Amino acid sequence: MAKPPGSATAPSRWLRDHLLIEPARPRRIARDPRAAWLTVATVSVGAFMGQLDASIVNIAYPSLQRSFDASLGAVQWVGLSYLLVLIAAVAAVGRVADMLGRKLLYTYGFVVFGIGSALCSVAPSLASLDAFRVVQAVGAVMLQANSIAIIAASLPREKLGRGIGVQGTAQALGLAVGPFVGGLLIGLGGWRLIFLVNVPIAAVGVITAWLFVPRSRELPEREPFDWIGLALFTPGLASLLLVLSFGNERGWRSAEIVSLLTVFVGTIVAFVVHERRADHPLIELGLFRRRRFSIGVSTGLASYLTLFGVLFVTPFLLERTHGLSPGAAGLVLAALPLAMAVAAPFAGRMTDRIGGRLPTIVGMLITSGGLWLAAAKPTTTGVLIGLSLAGTGIGLFTPANNASLISSVPARRVGVASGVVNLTRGLGGALGLSLTALVFAQASHSNKTAAATSDGFTRSMVMLGVVALIATGVSLLRRPKAQERDVS
């Protein structure tokens, strides 16, 4: 019997209509006066999950090193493989979201992240764990590339700082819960449990995104994608991270390290030349001519470098030198993100009133002081106080910096700017992890004794404190709010 015309395409039409087109929110939700803040809350679920995963992995590094009997350089790629994908793809996905719809990519980001997390929990080897972390990172990119753009599209500009402050609080809570919960899970059943915790959170995220995130509006016209730029940027950055990870082990003058440095310099120079000439570049270098934008990117990079460096190195001190269990070490480490969670909403409200200059300057200055205090007093109490101060400073800095950066670009380029913010987060995190591991390994000479670990920790914290102080100096170059021009 002949099939009715068009019946063969019915399944594909159903898939398109139900899975590939952004659905409208239920009318009752769309008309709710709290609708914009329900959107912010949904975006905060993704922010919480992403930072929960980042902090859980940091507390697991000592356990992973023991479990796989691997070098520090090899183990840190559990984090770097994730961050490398974030760096390479986040700006690109931000551009794709501007063209296809932010809600669609954000919702499916939860799906991909949940699948990647489940795969990580059953990884049979360190190499497979790195590969599954790449899957996880693809989902994280779909979430992070859209988050600030969705908030910016949902709130008026005078409330943008507050909205980003709420998101910053969710990120800080994820960072705070991660070390403690991760330490408990490692103690109960090993490192595999730390990835499974993401699966139910991802399921909640899918439902809330489908219900509460509005359909995309005012998307720019579709543009050709800069595949050449991506092909130059990604291997260049990967080469740099490989150099920082394995330079100590292989020798800085070895053929492998020299070759990787050559690839890094060559590809990055070619990338900049190409981006300046491209009609539709991967990263709009012209945005960096804006004073607030370039200051925001550079200081944001320094803040994330500092944050991820501290999260990486502190568990080694607490477990090796002070003999704490993973759970107890996680509880101490949680002081930093908990302080961030307290400070971030206050910073958002302050930014809406007085601009981002003062919160960013004070924030990075407090961060630098906290890190140097921990370096001078590497006791458990000293570290706890130092981390609390550093977390307060970063919590003051981040919402103010992000709001200032986003408001410095035209509304039609918010998606691109959001992608750059998240690229900065990934790049800062990767550099923080790599540079801190490099300083820590050189200072301790890869020795796992308590004294060597303490020395490595102290030198790492001094280095990170210097980075935070440099960010303070750059923040001084910001103009007061009264002198800022609205580019909307």
Report the percent of the chain where pLDDT is more than 90: 20
CB 360 within 8 A of CB 305: no
478 in Cβ contact with 360 (< 8 Å):
yes
Gap between the Cα atoms of 142 and 105, Å rounded? 6
Residue 272 confidence (pLDDT) above 60:
yes
The size of the chain, in residues, is 488
Distance CA 366, CA 371 (A): 9
> Taking 60 as the threshold, does the pLDDT of residue 487 lie above it?
no
Alpha-carbon span 216 to 206, nearest angstrom: 17
Interatomic CA distance for residues 413 and 73, integer angstroms: 38
Cα 92–99–417 angle (5° rounding)? 50
- The separation between CA 155 and the C-alpha centre of its own chain, rounded to angstroms, equals 22
Least confident of 26-30, 151-155, 440-444, 476-480: 26-30
What does the CA dihedral 128, 132, 134, 135 come to, rounded to 10 degrees? 150
pTM of the predicted model, to two decimals? 0.75
| Residue 115: band (very low, low, confident or very high) from pLDDT cuts 50, 70, 90 | very high
Residue 260, pLDDT above cutoff 80 = yes
Six token digits for residue 398: 């981040």
What mean pLDDT do residues 298-306 have? 92
Return the minimum-mean-pLDDT range out of 268-277, 337-346, 443-452: 443-452
Cα–Cα distance between 431 and 478 in angstroms, integer? 24
What was the pLDDT predicted at 459?
94
Q: Is the pLDDT of residue 486 over 50?
A: no
Reported confidence tier of residue 430, pLDDT bands at 50, 70, 90: confident
Euclidean distance between CA atoms 483 and 479, whole angstroms: 6
**Type of residue found at 211:** L
- Look at residue 395 and tell me whether its pLDDT is greater than 80: yes
What is the DSSP code string of 269-314?
HHHHHHHHH-SS-SS-GGGGGSHHHHHHHHHHHHHHHHHHHHHHHH
What is the rounded average pLDDT of the residues 298-316?
91
CA angle 172, 304, 467 (to 5 degrees): 130
Other CB atoms within a 10 A radius of the CB of residue 91 amount to 30
Predicted confidence (pLDDT) per residue in 339-363, tens digit: 887 888 888 778 778 777 888 999 9
Q: Is 478 or 397 the better-scoring residue by pLDDT?
A: 397
Residue 382 has pLDDT above 90, yes or no: yes
Task: Collect contacts of 269-276 with beta carbons under 8 A, ≥24 apart.
Answer: 270/232, 271/229, 271/232, 271/233, 271/236, 274/228, 274/229, 274/232, 275/226, 275/229
Per the listing, tokens 């910001």 go with 478
Dist CA 322 CA 62 (whole Å): 14
SS3 215: coil
**SS3 call for 407:** coil
Task: Give the separation between CA 88 and CA 80, rounded to whole angstroms.
Answer: 12
Cα–Cα distances in angstroms (integers) from residue 483 to residues 292, 347, 354, 478, 480, in the given order: 11, 20, 11, 10, 6
Alpha-carbon distance 307 to 259, whole Å? 30
DSSP character for 121? Answer: T
Comparing 53 with 232, the larger pLDDT belongs to 232
Instruction: Give the integer Cα–Cα distance in Å for 460 and 224.
Output: 43
In the chain, what's the furthest Cα-to-Cα distance?
84
In this structure, what are the phi and psi dihedrals at residue 223, rounded to the nearest 5 degrees? Answer: -125, 155
DSSP 289: G
DSSP letter string, 153-179? HHS-GGGHHHHHHHHHHHHHHHHHHHH
Shortest CA distance to 164 belongs to which of 1, 43, 46, 68?
Answer: 43
Q: Interior CA angle at 298 toward 42 and 54, to 5°?
A: 40
Tokens describing residue 315: 């568990």
Round to whole Å and give the CA distance between 412 and 284.
13
Query: Does an H or E element contain 277, and which?
Result: helix 255-277
Lowest mean pLDDT among 192-201, 363-372, 437-446: 437-446
**Averaged pLDDT of the chain:** 81
CB burial of residue 447 (10 Å; 0-12, 13-18, 19+)? middle
d(CA 205, CA 108): 10
